[in-house]
Amino acid sequence: MHLLVSGRRLPVTQMGPDFLLVESPADHPPTAASVVLQVDQTEQRWNVLLPQGISAGTKRVAIAAGA
């Protein structure tokens, strides 16, 4: 599972109903993004919003339903 944000791919280690834990956080302002889950040859994507952006100081990233 990974988070696609502004062309960057950030591996996700855990997903909750309103947050993700990313493996290697990097500063990024609030924006839209996609969560990608791939199992074998099947891929699913969810559009999400990152209302607080991403902070390099924490692996926890708040998410909200996206369009």
Instruction: Please name the amino acid found at residue 15.
Output: M
Q: Whose structure tokens read 């109903």?
A: 17
**HSE-up of residue 60 (Cα within 13 Å, Cβ side):** 5
* Residue 63 tokens, joined: 């998410």
Per-residue pLDDT of the chain (67 residues; tens, 9 = 90+): 999 999 999 999 999 999 999 999 999 999 999 999 999 999 999 999 999 999 999 999 999 997 6
Query: For the chain, which residues make up each domain, given as ranges?
Result: 2-65
Q: Where are the beta strands (DSSP E) in 6-66?
A: 8-15, 19-22, 31-39, 42-50, 60-62, 64-65
Distances (CA, A) of 34 to 2, 45: 8, 6
